[in-house]
């Protein structure tokens, strides 16, 4: 099933780390001490990385995997003027998926019109357009994988 909307994009690397950390705590009860243990480092080192926004790049994939959150990765991609999408598993879609796509794209066009009419701020417009890009790209990848469906293990 397609994604219905984009998660809000953090406004700084610090906010991205905090969002990932908060997600790990709220959803999986992983505090910094447990995150550090799973990343094979000390809590003091992890605290230092988070406080200075200086996590080594070779630890970032582990951070994303352990927190099960992608705010840092999405922030870094956006800073490089890229859009991140979840790759679908390649499965048959339902009519509701296509209707959700249409709703999301209509909302993106509406946001663009509202922005140019002065009724919507820049961040709101960008969020709506990004959501449209993500859901459309999701469907593109799903069509590309149509002849090689995968099991959904999540």
pLDDT in tens, 97-125: 999 999 999 999 999 999 999 999 998 99
Tokens of 112: 């663009």
Asked if residue 151 belongs to a domain, the reply is no
Same domain, 54 and 107: no
For the chain, give the secondary structure using H, E and C: CCCCCCCCCCCCHHHHHHHHHHHHHHHHCCCHHHHHHHCCCCHHHHHHHHHHCCCCHHHHHHHHHHHCCCHHHHHHHHHCCCCCCCCCCCCCCCHHHHHHHHHHHHHHHHHHHHHHCCCCCHHHHHHHHHHHHHHHHHHHHHHHCCCCCCCCCC
Asked if residue 88 belongs to a domain, the reply is no
Render pLDDT for 69-101 as a digit per residue (tens, 0 to 9). Answer: 999 999 999 899 887 877 766 677 899 999 999
Same domain, 72 and 120: no
pLDDT over 90 (residue 149): no
Same domain, 58 and 103: no
> pTM of the full predicted structure?
0.71
Same domain, 71 and 120: no
Count: domains in the chain: 2
Same domain, 64 and 106: no
Asked if residue 87 belongs to a domain, the reply is no
Asked if residue 62 belongs to a domain, the reply is yes
The pLDDT value given to residue 87: 75
CATH number of the domain where residue 48 is located: 1.10.260
Q: Going by C-beta distance under 8 Å and a sequence separation of 6 or more, which residues neighbour residue 35?
A: 21, 24, 46, 63, 66, 67
108: containing domain: 95-144
Same domain, 65 and 111: no
The pLDDT value given to residue 91: 72
Render pLDDT for 5-63 as a digit per residue (tens, 0 to 9). Answer: 467 888 899 999 999 999 999 999 999 999 999 999 999 999 999 999 999 999 999 99
Same domain, 100 and 140: yes
Calculate mean pLDDT across residues 118-147: 89
Same domain, 69 and 114: no
Of 79, 112, 130, the position where a domain reaches its end is 79
């Amino acid at each position: 099933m397609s994604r219905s909307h984009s998660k809000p994009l953090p406004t700084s690397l610090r906010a991205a780390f905090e969002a990932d950390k908060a997600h790990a705590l709220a959803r999986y009860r992983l505090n910094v001490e447990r995150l550090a243990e799973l990343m094979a480092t000390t809590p003091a080192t992890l605290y230092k990385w988070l406080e200075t926004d200086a996590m080594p790049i070779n630890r970032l994939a582990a951070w994303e995997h352990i927190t099960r959150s992608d705010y840092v990765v999405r922030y870094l991609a956006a800073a490089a003027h890229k859009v991140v999408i979840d790759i679908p598993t390649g499965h048959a879609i339902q009519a509701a998926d296509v209707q959700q796509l249409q709703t999301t794209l209509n909302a993106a066009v509406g946001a663009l019109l509202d922005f140019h009419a002065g009724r919507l701020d820049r961040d709101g417009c960008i969020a709506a357009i990004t959501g449209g890009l993500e859901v459309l790209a999701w469907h593109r990848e799903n069509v590309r994988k149509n002849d090689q469906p995968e099991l959904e293990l999540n």
